[in-house]
């Protein structure tokens, strides 16, 4: 399968600072990328869907000004957690696919964010 690389794998930041997480499709052009959040022992919750060259579509309850998503190219999407607070500590996972609804989604390895 295709490879999706997420960076960093772990990050610790201070409250009030911003953190950027990158998601790259290494061997295919991903027209659509998804960002998920996962709390310990819970399921993946979709935060937003981003299509290359257009604004991200956020799920209900997700603050778009707090979780900034940029999908500037067919191989890179970034999630920036702005003014991070301890409650933003979580496991963030991206996935990438072609726009075709039948296309398989390939997942990154996840980013463990800890806000202190």
Site for other proteins, rule CB under 8 A: 1, 4, 6, 32, 34, 36, 41-46, 49, 91, 93, 95, 97, 99-110, 112
Minimum distance from residue 75 beta carbon to other proteins (Å): 17
32/75 with CB nearer other proteins: 32
Per-residue three-class SS string for the chain: CCCEEEECCEEEECCCCCEEEEEEECCCCCCEEEEEEECCCCCEEEEEEEECCCCCEECCCCCCCCEEEEEEECCEEEEEECCCCHHHCEEEEEEEECCCCCCCCEECCCEEEEEC
Nearer to other proteins, 66 or 112 (CB): 112
CB of 93 to other proteins, least distance (A): 5
Of 34 and 67, CB closest to other proteins: 34
**Closer residue to other proteins in complex, CB, 14/41:** 41
What is each CA distance from 77 to 15, 43, 87, in whole angstroms?
A: 24, 22, 23
Minimum gap (Å) between residue 87 Cβ and other proteins: 17
**In the complex, least distance from residue 62 CB atom to other proteins, rounded to whole angstroms:** 13
């Amino acid at each position: 399968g295709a490879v999706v690389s997420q960076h960093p794998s772990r990050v610790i930041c201070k409250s009030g600072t911003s953190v950027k997480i990158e998601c790259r499709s290494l061997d295919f052009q991903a027209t659509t990328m998804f960002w998920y959040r996962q709390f310990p022992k819970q399921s993946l919750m979709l935060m937003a869907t981003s299509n290359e060259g257009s604004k991200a579509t956020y799920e209900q309850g997700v603050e778009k000004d707090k979780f900034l998503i940029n999908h500037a190219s067919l191989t890179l999407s970034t999630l920036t957690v702005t003014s991070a607070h301890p409650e933003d500590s979580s496991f963030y996972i991206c996935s990438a696919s072609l726009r075709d609804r039948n296309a398989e989604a390939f997942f990154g390895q996840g980013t463990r964010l800890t806000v202190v």
